[in-house]
Amino acid sequence: MSAGTPRLRSLGFDPVTGKKALAVTHPGGLLEELADAHALKAATVLVTVVGAVLEAGKASDAELAAFVTPLHAALEECVGIMVADRE
């Protein structure tokens, strides 16, 4: 994806409908900023939950495996934010 290409990003959930709110964002735009903030907040919560599970030490391999996909997605989005900030 080129630096100027708009992307479909999550802005969280609509509190009225409960549906995921998505927006086409453009680099440097307001919606891009909101999507970045949402992604970082979601990643922070996920890291906190996974950390607590690991610290408790009682999770099975299957329970831990359930976190792999969301952690990968959060890491991928955070890396994308960092790369965009460097361009």
In tens digits, what is the pLDDT along the chain, a chain of 87 residues?
445 666 789 999 989 999 999 999 988 899 999 999 999 999 999 999 999 998 999 889 998 999 999 999 999 999 988 888 777
Tell me what pLDDT residue 1 has: 43
Tell me what pLDDT residue 5 has: 67
- Domain of 46, in residue numbers: 7-86
Q: Is 57 helix (H, G, I), strand (E, B) or coil?
A: coil
C-beta atoms surrounding 86 within 10 Å: 5
Q: Is residue 2 part of a domain?
A: no
Global confidence as pTM? 0.76
At position 58, the amino acid (one-letter code) is K
Q: Is residue 26 part of a domain?
A: yes
Q: Is residue 1 part of a domain?
A: no
**Which residues are CB-neighbours of 24 under 8 A, at least 6 positions away?**
6, 7, 8, 9, 31
What is the rounded CA–CA span in Å between residue 4 and residue 13?
A: 26
Tell me what pLDDT residue 40 has: 93
Q: Is residue 49 part of a domain?
A: yes
As for how many domains the chain has, the answer is 1
